[in-house]
Structure 1
Amino acid sequence: MGQPVAFFEITSTAPEKVRAFYTGLFGWSAEPDPAMDGYAMVDTGAGPDAIGGGIGPSQAPGDTGVKIYVRVDDLEKELARAGELGAPTLAPPMDLPEGYGRIAVVADPDGNPVGLWA
């Protein structure tokens, strides 16, 4: 059985502008949370089974863009498998706040970031 896409993230050096674009284009809601440095959880309005997302400020040079997070059962195992496939680790495993699990980010062969979420 395959692993589902579980979350999307859009980061930008101009998050207000990007947030206005996506909410205006698709009718999403995304209110920035000051407690999360202006990161906004996205409600696409597509119902309870829709994939959730976030829009927020860039955290490091070169990290702007759109990335997907794929749900995995064992973060360390999948991170190791990604490494065996030649994927460098862009962000090592880290805990998400409020018990939302753990994530890591690798790069695909073209350098696109791909999040792993357990």
Structure 2
Amino acid sequence: MAGELSFFELGVEDVERGRAFYEALFGWRFEPGPSGAGFVITAPGTPGGMHGGDAGAGPYVFFAVDDIDAAVNRVRELGGTVDEADVEGDEDQQSRFGRFRICHDDQGSHFGLHQPPP
């Protein structure tokens, strides 16, 4: 099963702010991490983790959304930013691969949004 996302780790400066942001955006559940620092993240299909003291760090992972435009708006509402450069390609590429946007949470850590093709 090579190539499937099996775990993700988000590095942020402040884990409580990170938890509040991603909880509000995706509805994920957070439990204290095994070391007592950071969190274990329960997300649909893929387990994850979050550690603090790592401003602007983070993996380059994409999260599926049903409506990328609504998700982009929600990122901005929560204090995040969205890169202006589209990574979506032309209409043919969108119909084959879906739509993608690269975002940053309210602490600057990057992540991607992906709306799969219909």
TM-score for the superposition, normalised by structure 2 = 0.43
TM-score for the superposition, normalised by structure 1 = 0.43
Bigger proportion of residues as strand: 1
